[in-house]
């Protein structure tokens, strides 16, 4: 591990706004049955970014919607360090980052907690033939259902054709309702600024290479 990365891995524990839930063994914070009110006010709406990396979505949405709460989740501490540092520099008070496995989130988040979930560029996990590790596999959709509000929406962007068709194939058996899906977001008629006007780190990289962005939006009822 490089010096910068290793510094961030250690220093992330000193960053404000990064939470380490109990299962990770560090600074146990019990987020259930409800969040401490000094952390956030769920009645104002909670939006999650899963596999947030450096948190571009969380940060941009938090600036646009200061009345709502935004939580980015990722396992990689060095990326969360970057995200939390930017949140501090921007003075954002409605942003949190949780260093945790997404697989464990139903142990931390209460029911009816989130109104929306963003999954920008989940790992395609090509070697994982059952697809279990993909963040849009039936196993993960079941986990999201645990803390997503009944009318809550999931939005996913990907560069990966395999992950795109895998996700669409799973929706029916997972009892999800597709709202829309497009194979080339930036050539489509979708003009919602939250969808087309915010680009994550991976989205910028793929677009620079001329790779089209696929987009899916569905309800988990």
Could you tell me which of 96, 124, 118 has the C-alpha nearest to residue 108?
96
> Is position 43 annotated in a ligand binding site?
no
Q: Which is nearer to ligand SAM, 40 or 102 (CB)?
A: 102
What 3-state class would DSSP assign to 12?
Answer: helix
The verdict on 132 binding ligand SAM (CB under 6 A) reads: no
Q: Which is nearer to ligand SAM, 35 or 140 (CB)?
A: 140
Residues 48-77 that bind ligand SAM (CB under 6 A): 51-53, 74-76
> Is position 27 annotated in a ligand binding site?
no
Alpha-carbon distance of 24 to 38, in angstroms, equals: 22
Q: Which is nearer to ligand SAM, 18 or 44 (CB)?
A: 18
Residues 102-121 that bind ligand SAM (CB under 6 A): 102-103, 120-121
Let me know: does 55 contact 87? Beta carbons within 8 Å.
yes
- Residues 6 or more apart whose Cβ sits within 8 Å of residue 178: 168, 171, 216, 217, 218
Tally of residues, the chain: 221
The verdict on 201 binding ligand SAM (CB under 6 A) reads: yes
Give 124-186 as a DSSP string.
--TT-TT-TTSTTSHHHHHHHHHHEEEEEEEEEEES-HHHHHHHHHHHHHTTEEEEEEES-GG
The verdict on 86 binding ligand SAM (CB under 6 A) reads: no
Q: Which is nearer to ligand SAM, 38 or 210 (CB)?
A: 210
Catalytic residue among 11, 123, 146, 194: 123
> Is position 217 annotated in a ligand binding site?
no
Indicate if 103 belongs to the active site: no
Residues identified as active-site: 123
Residues found near ligand SAM in the complex (CB under 6 A): 51-53, 74-76, 79, 101-103, 120-123, 200-203
């Amino acid at each position: 591990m490089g010096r910068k990365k290793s510094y961030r891995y250690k220093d992330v524990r000193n960053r404000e706004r990064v939470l380490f839930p109990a299962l990770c063994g560090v600074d146990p914070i019990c987020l259930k049955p409800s969040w401490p009110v000094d952390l956030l006010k769920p009645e104002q709406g909670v939006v999650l970014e899963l596999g947030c990396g450096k948190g571009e979505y969380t940060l941009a949405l938090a600036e646009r919607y200061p009345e709502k709460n935004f939580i980015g989740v990722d396992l990689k501490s060095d990326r969360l360090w970057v995200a939390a540092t930017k949140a501090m520099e921007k003075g954002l008070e409605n942003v949190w980052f949780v260093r945790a496995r997404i697989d464990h989130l139903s142990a931390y988040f209460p029911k009816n907690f989130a109104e929306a979930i963003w999954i920008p560029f989940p790992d395609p996990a090509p070697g994982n033939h059952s697809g279990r590790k993909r963040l849009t596999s039936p196993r993960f959709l079941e986990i999201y259902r645990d803390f997503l509000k009944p009318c809550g929406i999931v939005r996913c962007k990907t560069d990966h054709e395999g992950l795109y068709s895998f996700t669409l194939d799973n929706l029916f058996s997972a009892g999800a309702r597709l709202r829309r899906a497009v194979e080339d977001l930036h050539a489509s008629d979708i003009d919602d600024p939250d969808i087309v006007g915010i680009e994550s780190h991976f989205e910028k990289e793929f677009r620079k290479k001329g790779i089209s962005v696929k987009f899916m939006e569905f309800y988990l009822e």
